[in-house]
Amino acid sequence: MRTHAIISGRVQGVGFRYTAKQKADELGVTGWIRNNEDGTVELDAEGNMDQVDQFIQALKNGLTPVIRVEQIDQTSTHKNYGYRNFSIKN
């Protein structure tokens, strides 16, 4: 399963990408995450359905007290790209 998401809220300048990568690594999720110029964060995540669902739920919960996720717009598909790890893009 693959999910592409745009996350808005207090998600830049608060360690969101780094804590998201830690959570992805912990759950065995692969893909990437990056900051967008409009203040949102974008990601593409792959794994089995349970892994990806747990990952998105962790993101919704904010990961740390300073992170505040207001909205996650996501699209899911069964077509995977075969990412080997979870990386932070610049």
Q: Tell me the C-alpha to C-alpha distance, in Å, between residue 68 and each of 16, 24, 30, 52.
A: 9, 18, 23, 20
Pick the catalytic residue: 17, 48, 61, 68?
A: 17
Decide: 5 and 57 in contact? Cβ < 8 Å: no
**Known catalytic residue at 48:** no
Pick the catalytic residue: 2, 10, 34, 35?
A: 35
**Known catalytic residue at 17:** yes
Among 54, 3, 2, 5, smallest CA distance to 25 is for 54
Give catalytic residues, as residue numbers: 17, 35
